[in-house]
């Protein structure tokens, strides 16, 4: 499945993310700026924060409480913020669109 990362300047990068990989892993492999992922997917650093397109947020769903607490550390937290390391790609998420916060660049 393909994920779309919208950069702060409005440009879009499409990334093929293998089924079962996290969005963060796909972004790191393709060198998407702003997805640092310091903790390597352990859900402890919040440097993989993305703002999910509202339409897709309905599919992805709200974060569990532990993730939500960590997202408080992320700058530019939005109503549809998620940690990209906690979103696992499946065909149901093909085309998912997320925004990379400017402060993470
Ligand atoms: Fe650290 Fe996602 S990579 S919280």
Percent residues over pLDDT 90 in the chain: 97
Give all strands of the β-sheet with 49-52 in edge-to-edge order.
12-16, 2-6, 96-99, 49-52, 81-83
Centroid of ligand 1 to alpha carbon of 9 (angstroms) = 23
pTM, 2 dp: 0.96
Centroid of ligand 1 to alpha carbon of 24 (angstroms) = 8
Report the CATH number of the 2-104 domain.
3.10.20.30
Q: Per residue in 22-47, pLDDT tens?
A: 999 999 999 999 999 999 999 999 99
Cβ–ligand 1 contact at 39 (below 6 Å): yes
Centroid of ligand 1 to alpha carbon of 44 (angstroms) = 6
Cβ–ligand 1 contact at 37 (below 6 Å): yes
Work out the pLDDT band at 14, boundaries 50, 70, 90: very high
Work out the pLDDT band at 75, boundaries 50, 70, 90: confident
Look up the ipTM and state it: 0.99
Domain ranges, ordered by start, for the chain: 2-104
């Amino acid at each position: 499945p393909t994920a779309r990362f919208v950069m702060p300047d409005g440009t879009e990068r499409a990334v093929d993310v293998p089924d079962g990989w996290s969005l963060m892993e796909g972004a790191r492999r393709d060198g998407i700026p702003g997805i640092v992922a310091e903790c390597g997917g352990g859900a402890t650093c919040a440097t993989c924060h993305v703002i999910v397109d509202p339409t897709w947020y309905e599919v992805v769903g709200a974060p569990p409480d532990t993730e939500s607490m960590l997202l408080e550390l992320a700058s530019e937290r939005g109503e549809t913020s998620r940690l990209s390391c906690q979103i696992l790609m499946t065909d149901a998420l093909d085309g998912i669109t997320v925004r990379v916060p400017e402060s993470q660049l």
